[in-house]
Amino acid sequence: MRHNSIRNPTWTVLALLVVTVPTVFLLLLVDLRPLVPHPGPLSQQQRHDLEYLIVDNSPERFRATGEQEIRLDDDDINLLAHFLLHNLPALEEISARVALRGDEARLQLSIPRRTGPLLWHLNVRARLGMVDGEAELRRIRIGRLPLPAASHGPLERQLTRLLDQHGPVYAELLNLRESVRLLAIDDQYLRMQLRWESDLLAEIGGQAHQALTGNDEQNRILTYYREIGHLADRISDSGETRQLEQILPPLFGLAAQRSTSAEEATRENRALLQALTLYSNRIDPTRLFGEGVQVPQDIRPGPIRLHGRPDLGRHFVTAAAISASTGTVIAEILSNSKELHDARHTTGFSFSDMTANLAGVRFGETASDTAFARQLQQFMIHSDTEHDYMPSVSRERDGLSEEEFRARFGNRDSIRFRQEMAMIEEGVEGLALHRNMAVQ
């Protein structure tokens, strides 16, 4: 009976369907080649373009409150997508391309996956439009398989849940939608309105710190935040001005005590720098971590001077914290964007600030490198001068307006400006801290 049933044509067809249908379905979904080739890291020119994009779409005063209309063309959107995907955890290998056509934004995604030695891709094509002031997914296709319209809503909700579950960084990106309202899509621009609150940059910066930390990391940050407050108060009570060289040695002494391994040392160093940034920029930890956070009410956050200047202290510690948390690319782009904004709207371009930015980026990079994290702790415990980690600077070339900068240097790709930056970088690399790390 078993032999006859196997030879029965009906059973044969069913067996073939069981094997064939999933295989065909899978072949319709996946591709061996990406629809969008991966672009790799940002080029130097793309970094410059991104910095100007940030400045061009920021308000004249970062502390202003109100609504700001932003217009992005294809190139702007693709540059931002390239930057975000390359720097967000777990998304570095995804590539994307956007084109504005008529009243639609056409999105293409390539998501690489590996099964054993086989590399394959999920290639996604989607069309988005506007309906009653809201973005609407009009059409989506995965591989060669179009998805029915009835699946669009559930698909969007599932994607939101997956991103939210993946980690706080994606949840914060989704929450930013509350401050952004799409206005229109046309052949040239994606137009949106940003509700700019007075503390939005501080909130986003703080959320970026929080996005990379769980509860354990938040507790680390708060431990150092409290210690900084106590150290700063003792210095102020003695009648002295709070200097970075007074704060860092005991802080890194605490970090060394709490570090049981190289990996732990990087976490402690990162938390130390994040706490220092919260303190010196007067960012209330309860706004980032919730009202349940226990922060002593007598802590009085404020500037910590570097070479006698509070602005250099803020630049250094903020750049160091961003570099340690998210990498040098993000730190450099944000630091450079701030200098461009100042040149256009406020105090002017400052080579002193740029020096503090670069020194801070390098400091944060070293502090978060497992090969050097514990060595940096020991070096900083015995450091008694800021010249160990920050070059001397002069105010003579500070306060350049955008017009003055162009008259003197042309642009940031000019030979003269690159020579100036090379001299600053050489000065940073020649500091005692980095010379000491190099010979270890």
- DSSP-assigned letters across all residues of 195-264: EE-TTHHHHHHHHHHHHT--HHHHHHHHHHHHHHHHHHHHHHHTTPPPBHHHHHHHHHHHHHHH-SSHHH
Q: Please give the DSSP secondary-structure letter assigned to residue 2.
A: H
Helix (H) or strand (E) holding 179: none
Residue 298 has pLDDT above 80, yes or no: no
Element counts in the chain: helices (H) and strands (E): 18, 9
Q: Which one, of 409, 158, 144, 373, lies nearest residue 267 by Cα?
A: 373
Write down the H helix ranges in 34-167.
44-56, 74-87, 152-166
| Burial readout 417-433 (b: 16 or more C-beta within 10 A, e: otherwise) | eeebeeebeebbeebeb
Q: Which residues contact 237 (CB under 8 A, 6 or more apart)?
A: none
Residue 72 has pLDDT above 80, yes or no: yes
What does the alpha-carbon distance between residue 234 and residue 291 come to, in Å, rounded to a whole number? 27
Structure token digits, residue 161 = 């849940």
Q: What is the largest CA-CA distance in the chain?
A: 100
Q: Specify the pLDDT at position 204.
A: 47
- Under the banding of pLDDT at 50, 70 and 90, the label for residue 408 is confident
Q: Specify the pLDDT at position 326.
A: 73
Amino acid code (one letter) for 162: L
Q: Specify the pLDDT at position 300.
A: 83
Q: Which residues contact 101 (CB under 8 A, 6 or more apart)?
A: 187
CB atoms within 10 A of CB 378: 13
Q: Tokens 């750049």 identify what position? A: 319
pTM attached to this predicted model? 0.71
Give the residue with greater pLDDT, 293 vs 434: 434
DSSP β-bridge partners for residue 309? 306
Structure token digits, residue 373 = 């994290």
Bridge-based pairing state of the strands 30-31 and 190-196: unpaired
What's the whole-number mean pLDDT along residues 329-349? 66
Q: Specify the pLDDT at position 324.
A: 84
Q: Output the average pLDDT for the chain.
A: 77
Q: Specify the pLDDT at position 282.
A: 84
Q: What are the angstrom distances between the C-alpha of 197 and each of 144, 283, 334?
A: 44, 15, 19
Q: Specify the pLDDT at position 76.
A: 86
Residue 431 has pLDDT above 90, yes or no: yes
Q: Which residues contact 250 (CB under 8 A, 6 or more apart)?
A: 227, 231
CB atoms within 10 A of CB 357: 27
What's the whole-number mean pLDDT along residues 233-259? 90
Backbone angles phi, psi at 399, to 5 degrees: 75, 25
Q: Specify the pLDDT at position 178.
A: 57
CB atoms within 10 A of CB 346: 12
- Under the banding of pLDDT at 50, 70 and 90, the label for residue 157 is low
Residue 410 region, left (φ>0) first, then alpha (ψ -120 to 50), else beta? left
Q: Specify the pLDDT at position 208.
A: 47
